[in-house]
Structure 1
Amino acid sequence: MGAATDILVVPFFGQGHLFPCAELCKRLSSHNHKSIFIIPSHLSSSISSDLHHHPSVEVIQIDHHDLGHGIQSFLSGRYQNVRPAFVVVDVLMIRLKPIFIKANIPIVSFFTSGACATAMEYAASKPQPALPGLPHGIAMTDLDIKRRDRRRKDRGERPGRLNLGPNLGPPKSGPLARWMDQTEDSAALIINTCDDLEAPFLKFLTSQVEKPVFGVGPLLPDSFWKSIGSVVRDSSRPGRDTNYTEEEVIQWLDSKPRGSVIYVSFGSEVGPSVEEYDELAEALAETEKSFIWVIQPGAGKPGPPANMFGGKDSSEEEDEEEEEAGYLPHGLEERVGNRGLIIKGWAPQLSILSHPSTGGFLSHCGWNSTVEAICCGVPILGWPIRGDQFYDANMVAEYLKVGHKVEVSDEKSIMVKKNDVMGGIKAVMDDGGVGDRAMGLRGIFEAGYPSTSAASCKALIQFLSTK
């Protein structure tokens, strides 16, 4: 059987996975190949229109009720006499591997997280962790582990409603998900990072897995790379329900002094507890800094977003209204007036981070948010919620030194309190050294998408052309 030039890309379902996978499709298709982006049908509206109309990208929608069987049917119907060049599989979808192994399609495992978190989780999963060549100060502290484990217990991870097919559910994980151990059948690994940011971690992973590891990021939209040095228009990412338009947000930022606004957002999938949200609200009320606070539907509720896997059962429909509402900081808008902008729902994050009035980012330190802030030169105040985010926060504060972490003063309750947040905001907004280093790191990306990452995409395709 011969090989076609098609490259299949299979993402996981959260925005932090869909967006970089979509951008990866464009990068790979620029090398005389066609990218086939395979997504569950209920996520079609989450994909930007420019991807749907890209001349070298094809979006294939498969019924989410049985994704595994749908992919098998797609492969047998489309590739009867040839096979795709290779398939890129998000590591959170790694149990789809048997389908592609049976079809004799080379597999590339894709980590949408950074190389630091990937390397540290791999090292920590070993009986005797060995960290040759890795920077110090990145590993989780005892307090980090306590906070992570408490949040995991509190979330109670609601069962996913996406049926991948027989024996194709999400892999079970121990204290740390051992994704690296499940990539043995992969021909190569790719990571959403670049040598300029994480060279020691990429080098470590290459030495450990004994197969090629390519840094192909940061996988940000074309609108970002074309707008470096100015405010990015976030139109390439599909907007959702929100109480402020992108233009209204930019106008509000225009009214604030340079570097005076702290941006607060925990992404679309995780966040603090309701009690910690109350502490955050009090901190924002009492700080003198201007702020933008993005609050997602269902904020403060345990488990992943209700619409992440698609479909609802009857019990979920009954409490949908309550779940969508989530946490709201009642009375805060009246207390702070024009000093604060509270966005309920979708926010134009790249527009906010690239605006000169934004001087700091209070973040959960998910990798996409982390790298977006770094590329925009915005110092980060890390408030990690789950596993890999602790490594990202430690890397930001201890290795790159472009931010700080929220320091938890109450080690007994391991809960973030008002004074912890206020202290962190002051630290990240008033530390000139951190600000200078953040701006210096941004300089790496002023020429656009890193040349090392473009070379990695080309090298990946050349490597797999021999398989």
Structure 2
Amino acid sequence: MKSSAQNGLILGLKAVVYACLGSFNCILISQMIELGLDLEASTRPFFWVLKANDQQEEIEKWILESGFKERTKSRALLIYGWAPQELILSHPSLGGFLTHCGWNSTLEGITCGKPIITWPVFAEQFYNQKRIVQVLNVGECVGVKFVVQYGYEEKFGVLVFRKDIEEAIYKVMGEGIEGEDGRERAERLGDTAKKAIEEGGSSYLNMKLFIEDIRKMHIS
């Protein structure tokens, strides 16, 4: 993991935004810049995982030459490549998780009791977004409406704009009643998820029964 941050980064309770759009990030550089500029404009401390794949050099060049790194160094941690996501999400300073809604990230965000800002990119991620926002009611979407087929990103260009990201972050992390209610629901859901994997919990018992069935099949 390669990271960049100024020493002495101060992290308040539930004040930090964590942005990670997954291992197979295929969004345009122009879209990533839009995200970066909004994280900067939010005035909140943030962790941003940058996985631009074949565009990695281009985004790193923009970060340096645009002055973004210098302007945000007192409140930003930029991570190039892999990040210890569950460790980050479990920290009490983390207040909002901006994610592509991959199933692993969705489970990690929910288990850690964090409100989620949803940015689905492809496949089942749009269904996961609906569960997060409409069923569990522990998140807000940035407004992505459809899947862009890999290789055709240039045709559609920027789909999510600063105002959309800013609004979603504000709803999840703001001081109003809506934000507080969402954070409380996320924390309760996280507690429920943790109890499910403890001894005697529903996930614990289901896994135990599954292992017993496999053993029986092997014996027979």
* TM value normalised by structure 2: 0.79
Distance 1:324 1:282 in 2: 17
CA contact (8 A) 1:262 1:359 kept: yes
Partner amino acid, structure 2, of 1:352: I
Q: 1:459 to 1:326 in 2, by over 3 A?
A: farther
Matched ranges for 1:172-321 at <5 A: 241-243=1-3, 252=9, 255-298=10-53, 301=54
Aligned residues: 196
1:439 aligns with 2:194: no
**Residue 86 of structure 2: aligned partner:** 350
Q: 1:275 to 1:432 in 2, by over 3 A?
A: same
SS of the counterpart of 2:124? Answer: helix
Write out per-residue CA displacement over residues 178-207 of structure 1, whole angstroms, 9 at most, x where no aligned residue: xxxxxxxxxxxxxxxxxxxxxxxxxxxxxx
CA contact (8 A) 2:110 2:193 kept: no
1:455, distance to aligned residue in structure 2 (A)? 2.8
CA contact (8 A) 1:408 1:417 kept: no
RCO greater where, 1 or 2, for CA within 8 Å and sep 6 or more?
2
**Residue 208 of structure 2: aligned partner:** 455
Distance 2:59 2:141 in 1: 23
Distance 2:76 2:3 in 1: 14
SS of the counterpart of 2:25? Answer: coil
1:428 aligns with 2:172: yes
CA contact (8 A) 1:408 1:420 kept: no
Q: Structure 1 vs Structure 2: percent identity of aligned residues?
A: 32
1:442, distance to aligned residue in structure 2 (A)? 1.0
CA contact (8 A) 1:380 1:404 kept: yes
Write out per-residue CA displacement over residues 95-150 of structure 1, whole angstroms, 9 at most, x where no aligned residue: xxxxxxxxxxxxxxxxxxxxxxxxxxxxxxxxxxxxxxxxxxxxxxxxxxxxxxxx
Unaligned runs of 5+ in 2: 146-155
**Residue 370 of structure 1: aligned partner:** 106
SS of the counterpart of 1:334? Answer: helix
CA contact (8 A) 2:17 2:98 kept: yes
Matched ranges for 1:116-155 at <5 A: none
SS of the counterpart of 1:272? Answer: coil
CA contact (8 A) 1:408 1:414 kept: no
CA RMSD, Structure 1 to Structure 2 (Å): 2.6
1:389, distance to aligned residue in structure 2 (A)? 0.7
Q: 1:420 to 1:454 in 2, by over 3 A?
A: same
1:296, distance to aligned residue in structure 2 (A)? 1.8
Q: 1:456 to 1:264 in 2, by over 3 A?
A: farther
Write out per-residue CA displacement over residues 360-403 of structure 1, whole angstroms, 9 at most, x where no aligned residue: 10000111111001110011100000011111111100111111
SS of the counterpart of 2:13? Answer: coil
Q: 1:398 to 1:414 in 2, by over 3 A?
A: farther
Structure showing greater Rg: 1
Partner amino acid, structure 1, of 2:101: C
CA contact (8 A) 1:293 1:342 kept: yes
CA contact (8 A) 2:114 2:186 kept: yes
1:262, distance to aligned residue in structure 2 (A)? 0.6
Partner amino acid, structure 2, of 1:438: A
1:452, distance to aligned residue in structure 2 (A)? 3.4
1:453, distance to aligned residue in structure 2 (A)? 3.5
CA contact (8 A) 1:242 1:347 kept: no
Partner amino acid, structure 1, of 2:194: E
* TM value normalised by structure 1: 0.39
Whose helix fraction is larger, Structure 1's or Structure 2's? 2
Q: 1:335 to 1:372 in 2, by over 3 A?
A: same
Partner amino acid, structure 1, of 2:36: A
1:463, distance to aligned residue in structure 2 (A)? 6.1
Distance 2:161 2:18 in 1: 18
SS of the counterpart of 1:327? Answer: helix
Partner amino acid, structure 2, of 1:284: L
Structure 1 runs of 4+ off > 6 angstroms?
none
Q: 1:271 to 1:433 in 2, by over 3 A?
A: farther
Write out per-residue CA displacement over residues 301-336 of structure 1, whole angstroms, 9 at most, x where no aligned residue: 4xxxxxxxxxxxxxxxxxxxxx55252342212122
Unaligned runs of 5+ in 1: 1-240, 302-322
Q: 1:456 to 1:420 in 2, by over 3 A?
A: farther
**Residue 59 of structure 2: aligned partner:** 327
SS of the counterpart of 1:386? Answer: coil
Matched ranges for 1:10-25 at <5 A: none
Partner amino acid, structure 1, of 2:30: E
CA contact (8 A) 1:394 1:405 kept: no
